[in-house]
Amino acid sequence: MAGYGSLVWVGQALGPLTGAITDELIRVTEELISVRDLAFDLAELRAASIAENVTLVQYVLANNIDPATVTPPAAAAAYAQRLARRGVPLTVLLRAYGLGQYRLLDAAIGVVLAVPGRDQAARVAELLEFAGTYLDRLNSSMGRIYEAERDRWLSSRQAARQQWIARLLDSDEVDVGTAEAALGYRLDQRHLAAEVWAAPSTAVAEAVRALEQAREVLSAELGAGGAELVSATGARDLRLWLPVDRSRPADRLAAALTAAELPVRVALGPLGDGVPGFRRSARGAARAKALSVSAGAGAPQVVDFDAVAPFALLTDEPGELAGVVHRVLGPLARDTTKMALLRHTLDVFLAASSSYSRTARLLDVHRNTVQYRIQQITGHYGVPVDTDTFDLRFALGVCRWHPHVLATTI
């Protein structure tokens, strides 16, 4: 036990002063940390917390109790829990304790200095040591109480939020007004859903940071016209709905995420109005995510459902997809580096309206290289490119977004 027996008389002398010290601390705390900045109904609870803390410090000193063993008073714990549920930062709570400790220490030093003697400096030094130990103990305890309550409260709120979202997505019998109040999100507006996720190899702490920053980037780039609705779907996964009037190009969003150095991928759903649009956009974003995962590392960082809808909808019949691909592409459907190069050249060639020079510029190769590759495709492998190209482009798209078909034997 820490030896502060020489300070017992200081604690006893503080007894008659605790009322005045409490009143002053309530007034000073109100001036520096206004209740209006927190919540009006916290005033009474905060006053009780201050009063109990002042009384406790005086009692600990007067009875030679080891400050490292002190437990926060009930009112102080209740006040910390209430602040946690209101979302008030922990720093507000700790700042209030710092103010209280300073005022009590000032009063205690005044008591020591009022009694002449050669040991004044030693008693002041003991008071400083006592105050440091007591404040460290109190701050640690109150921090744990605050964080435990915050985690419990957030967990319960998140569970309720997930339930409301599930009901909105799965049922038509939902009280929209009650759902809006519970979620803090308007449903009578235009929505854009997005799935955001980090790679499984990403550390959880890094993933959480990246997901939150990605949310901010998406909100800014998409011009969200209000608060978005966020739902964590896993340790490294996030789903959100943003109130927006129009979408933005996927490459612009990807550029913003790259500039922020965020190791995440994003899948966007289609724009939708009201509750039906809320659901449709979420389904589209989920399908776009599944498609991006299916495509593997070759998928772009941001996938827009509207741009890939035909391929995103083709996830239930992998055998049929493989059949179409092998029928249209023949040997080009083999899973080799050479065939991948020829498929990519053909894809760019068709997108460039069969222009050799434009394809060469896009691929950054010589025009003769493009001609040679196309000749291989048509002559050696027997894939025609001068007829209706819909089937051809569709098969190439399937290879890009569903690469597993390349390993399927037909």
How many structural domains comprise the chain?
3
- pTM of the shown model: 0.55
Task: Among 311, 346, 369, give the residue marking a domain's end.
Answer: 311
Give the highest mean pLDDT range of 147-151, 246-250, 343-347, 392-396: 343-347
Residues 265 and 390 in one domain: no
Q: Percent of the chain scored above 90 by pLDDT? A: 20
Query: What's the CATH code of the domain at 352?
Result: 1.10.10.2840
Tell me what the mean pLDDT of segment 233-259 comes to: 86
Task: Among 311, 332, 347, give the residue marking a domain's end.
Answer: 311
Rounded CA gap, 173 and 160, in Å? Answer: 17
Q: Taking all residues of the chain, what is their mean pLDDT, rounded to a whole number? A: 85
Three-state SS string over the chain comes to CCCCHHHHHHHHHHHHHHHHHHHHHHHHHHHHCCHHHCCHHHHHHHHHHHHHHHHHHHHHHHCCCCHHHCCCCHHHHHHHHHHHHHCCCHHHHHHHHHHHHHHHHHHHHHHHHCCCCCCHHHHHHHHHHHHHHHHHHHHHHHHHHHHHHHHHHHHHHHHHHHHHHHHHHHCCCCCHHHHHHHHCCCCCCEEEEEEEEECCCCCHHHHHHHHHHHHHHHHHHHCCCCCCEEEEEECCEEEEEEECCCCCCHHHHHHHHHHCCCCEEEEECCCEEHHHHHHHHHHHHHHHHHHHHHHHHHCCCEEEHHHHHHHHCCCCCHHHHHHHHHHHHHHHHCCCHHHHHHHHHHHHHHHCCCCHHHHHHHHCCCHHHHHHHHHHHHHHCCCCCCCCCHHHHHHHHHHHHCHHHHHCCC
What range does the domain containing 384 cover? 318-407
Residues 135 and 228 in one domain: no
Do the beta carbons of residue 28 and residue 106 sit within 8 Å? no
| 172 within domain boundaries | no
Tell me what the mean pLDDT of segment 383-409 comes to: 80
pLDDT: is 153 or 237 the higher one? 237
Residues 131 and 211 in one domain: no
Nearest to 57 by CA among 82, 110, 49: 49
Q: What is the pLDDT of residues 195-229, one digit of tens each?
A: 999 988 888 888 888 998 999 999 888 888 778 89
Residues 144 and 14 in one domain: yes
Task: Among 153, 169, 194, give the residue marking a domain's end.
Answer: 153
Q: Longest Cα pair distance anywhere in the chain, in angstroms?
A: 109
Q: Could you tell me the pLDDT band of residue 301, with boundaries at 50, 70 and 90?
A: very high
Q: What is the pLDDT of residues 56-96, one digit of tens each?
A: 888 988 898 988 888 888 888 888 888 887 777 788 778 88
| 212 within domain boundaries | yes
Predicted confidence at residue 249, as pLDDT, reads 81
Calculate the CA dihedral of residues 280, 286, 288, 289 and round it to 10 degrees. Answer: 160
| 228 within domain boundaries | yes
